[in-house]
Amino acid sequence: MEKEPTSFYTIRFGDCDPFGHLNNSRYLDYCLNAREDHLRDHYGIDLKAWAAQGIGFVVNRHEIRYIRPVGYNDRVCIQSSLIGWGDTWLQVEMLVWDEPKEQLKAVLWTVFTRIDTKTGAKTTHPGELVDWIAQVVLDEGSRDLDERMAKLKSTRPR
């Protein structure tokens, strides 16, 4: 099972600031949309169907590092990976690369909390989700973004 799916996106004019750079908040949108695409296309997970079953995830926090600017009409490659988890949460890393994956543009870590969509209450992962997590989680050996950034800078793109 693929642990680091990727997809490509072209940066739209309306998503850029007056300098032609991707607006800081729009990185989140591109990354979260990519993760949703990866869940659907690579793992067969339909978030709408999950929500109808009472399974939901809400963003608990984001941590983002902007490394190099992304501009209007640039084509980027976004890679996402599950890098950590607990009984009620998942931590996802999203890497924004240039199209050939030679330059890292940004790193986003997002923690999602699992909720019951019918009650809004935090809930634990069921056994079948834990089994899936065990198959796809990456062990990057770091829970600190500074350490992860150092590792990314010292290795060639995947």
CA distances 48 to 57, 61, 121, Å, are: 11, 22, 18
Q: Is the pLDDT reported for residue 92 higher than 60?
A: yes
Q: Is residue 55 within 8 Å of residue 90, measured between CB atoms?
A: no
pLDDT tens digits, one per residue of 40-68: 999 999 999 999 999 999 999 999 999 99
The pLDDT of residue 142: 66
Q: Tell whether the model's pLDDT for residue 141 goes beyond 70.
A: no
- The angle formed by the CA atoms of residues 97, 102 and 107, to the nearest 5 degrees, is 30
- pLDDT over 90 at 152, yes or no: no
Residue with more model confidence, 139 or 90: 90
Q: Is the per-residue pLDDT at 121 higher than 60?
A: yes
Question: Nearest Cα to 24, choosing from 80, 78, 79, 105?
Answer: 105
Distance of CA 47 to the CA centre of its chain: 15
What is the pTM assigned to this prediction? 0.92
Query: Does residue 135 register a pLDDT over 70?
Result: yes
Average pLDDT over the chain reads 93
The helix (run of H) or strand (run of E) holding residue 153 is: helix 145-154
Q: How far apart are CA 91 and CA 134, in angstroms?
A: 13
Tell me the residue type at 100.
P
- Residues in Cβ contact with 48 at an 8 Å cutoff, skipping those fewer than 6 apart: none
The answer, yes or no, to whether residue 137 has pLDDT greater than 90, is: yes
